[in-house]
Amino acid sequence: MPPVIRISQISDYVDQEITLQGWVYNRTHKGKLVFLLVRDGYGFAQCVAFKNDLTPDLFETIVHLPQESSVIITGKVRSDPRAPGVPGGYEVGITGLDVVQAAGEYPIALKEHGVDYMLDNRHLWIRMPSQWAVLRVRAVVIAAIHEWLTDNGFIHMDTPILTPAACEGTTTLFGTKYFDEGMAYLAQSGQLYNEANIFAFSKVYCFGPTFRAEKSKTRRHLTEFWMVEPEVAFCDLDGLMEIEEQFVSHIVQRAIEKCGPELRSLGRDLSVLEKIKPPFPRISYDEAVERINAVQAQTEDPEQRKLLEMPWGIDFGAPHETCLTQQFEKPLFVYGYPTAVKAFYMEPWPGRPEVSKSVDLLAPEGYGEIIGGSERISDPELLLQRIHDHSLPEEAYKWYIDLRRYGSVPHSGFGLGVERTVTWICGIDHLREAIAYPRMINRMYP
């Protein structure tokens, strides 16, 4: 048997005999020719059966081969710019074909199905080129995250998922009774533990599933998502922004480098992503409010005008983020949010206690927030005050306040949402396609 190759490497095998192990994604029959679009996990390639090259039995088998049958194909690779596929541009002239299993009637015929139907069949939907491509990009994004952080002195530390206390507000907690210890909550963030860890390891990150009982049914919210959270000792807000822009640029450039065919198959314009290099623009929340108000004043549609209303002091909604990010080609830092709309642990702005040393990174083209971060309060008295102000149970945070008593330093960190980042890089509409098995307020199956 000729060597088994991956479709992603097909260009290395032009004019050679090869073997593909995969599945029949699509089949079309034209007289003496049958075209199979075969996928092998690494790509999609057109394989052509020519009647005169094959035994009558084998040709008949191929003519009737059901969609999603598993096959082992031998044949010769030809370069043909018209051949469809990912990467495309090559086809295989079939010389032999073994059917491993002739598939039963496949629930996803190659026509338009409603999105609910596709989500019910998510375990099969991930085989389709668009979903496959997004999930390949996701894997590369995750690898790039680990790579950049490791290369830049960060150590990966796992933080608990069952936790006794909230990090990002008490309204989105998933709780469960925990033996005789009271309630446990699924982690909303590993940040508080990261903060303990930096005092032992200086630069750390955690990377895990994150849980938010978000009541919101939007394109940007999942109840279970993946977040990478770096945390750095001796780092202020400016230092944090420098880390973030290097980090995000690395992720995007790696995605282009390793997933060009996948991104192109999604219709993504790579030249837009190639521009994602440091430095990123930085504006204050104050300036952001002014910019939104200026656009609002020019907006004629009364409904849109209402949506864009932006008094100082409120958090941005999706329309505000869209309005801002459409003004820039690169991700945009907005820093100095009102203290009242942010979490309890954020350091106040010097001389302006109503403002926090916080910074969000908003992705361009209307994608909006992909990172939330801040400098943390380093003073134990102020921290205790904030815990009281937010009506948090002091007992559960005793250890966290300890960190400010034994060698406290200015420190900062951020959290990047993997699905938000993948959605933006792929140029798709909805977060639910950026994770294999999305968890949303109204969906837990499959």
Binding site for ligand 4AD (CB under 6 A): 167-168, 189, 191, 212, 214, 221-222, 225, 227, 229, 369-373, 413-415, 417, 419-420, 431
Rounded to the nearest whole angstrom, what is the least distance from the CB of residue 301 to ligand 4AD in the complex?
29
- Please identify, using beta-carbon distances, which residue of 39 and 122 lies nearer to ligand 4AD: 122
In whole angstroms, the minimum distance from the beta carbon of 369 to Mg ion comes to 6
The number of helices, as runs of H, and strands, as runs of E, in the chain is 13, 19
Q: Which residues bind Mg ion (CB under 5 A)?
A: 372
Taking the least distance from each CB to ligand 4AD, the nearer of 19 and 408 is 408
Residue nearer to ligand 4AD on the CB measure, 68 or 231 = 231
Residue showing tokens 């019910």: 120
189: partner contacted, choices ligand 4AD, Mg ion, none (Cβ within 5-8 A by kind): ligand 4AD
C-beta closer to Mg ion: residue 129 or 372: 372
Q: For residue 31, how far is the Cα from the chain centroid?
A: 44
**Nearest residue (CB) to Mg ion, 59 versus 226:** 226
Q: Which two tokens stand for residue 197?
A: 């860890």
User: Out of Mg ion, ligand 4AD, none, which partner does residue 214 contact, by CB within 5 to 8 A per kind?
Assistant: ligand 4AD
414 touches which of ligand 4AD, Mg ion, none (CB within 5 to 8 A by kind)?
ligand 4AD
User: Tell me, what DSSP letter sits at residue 9?
Assistant: G
CB of 285 to Mg ion, least distance (A): 13
- What's the closest the beta carbon of residue 360 comes to Mg ion, in angstroms? 6
Q: What tokens appear for 167 in the block? A: 């990090």
Residue nearest to Mg ion (CB): 372
Angle, helix 285-298 to helix 318-325, in steps of 10 degrees: 90
Nearest to 99 by CA among 60, 126, 136, 131: 60
Pairwise CA distance, residues 4 & 283, whole Å: 53
Q: What is the distance between the alpha carbons of residues 77 and 16, in angstroms, rounded to a whole number?
A: 6
Cβ pair 20, 29 in contact under 8 A: no
Residue carrying structure tokens 């307020």 = 441
Rounded CA gap, 121 and 130, in Å?
15
N residues, the chain? 446
Residue 167 binding result from Mg ion, ligand 4AD, none, given CB thresholds of 5 to 8 Å by partner type? ligand 4AD
In angstroms, the CA 228 to CA 190 distance is: 9
User: Which C-beta is closer to Mg ion: that of 163 or that of 374?
Assistant: 374
By the 8 A CB rule, do 328 and 361 touch? Answer: no
- For residue 301, the minimal CB distance to Mg ion (Å) is 28
Give the C-alpha separation, 16 to 414, whole Å.
Answer: 50
Pick the closer one to ligand 4AD by CB: 87 or 438: 438
312-342: buried (b, 16+ CB within 10 Å) or exposed (e) per residue?
eeeebeebbbbbbbeeeebbbbbbbbbbeeb
User: Shortest Cβ distance from residue 434 to ligand 4AD (Å)?
Assistant: 9
Beta strands in 364-401 (DSSP E): 368-375
What stretch of H or E contains 402?
A: helix 398-402
Which of the choices Mg ion, ligand 4AD, none does residue 333 contact, using the CB cut-off of 5 to 8 A by kind?
none
Among Mg ion, ligand 4AD, none, the one that 331 touches (CB under a kind-dependent 5 to 8 A) is none
Closer residue to ligand 4AD, CB minimum distance, 116 or 315: 315
* Closer CB to Mg ion, 372 or 413, in the complex: 372
From the list ligand 4AD, Mg ion, none, which binds 168 (C-beta under 5 to 8 Å, kind-based)? ligand 4AD
User: Least distance in Å: CB of 156 to ligand 4AD?
Assistant: 14
3-state secondary structure 158-212: CCCCEECCCCCCHHHCCEEECCCCCEEEECCCCHHHHHHHHHHHCEEEEEEEEEC
Q: How far is the CB of 372 from ligand 4AD (least distance, A)?
A: 2
CB of 424 to ligand 4AD, least distance (A): 10
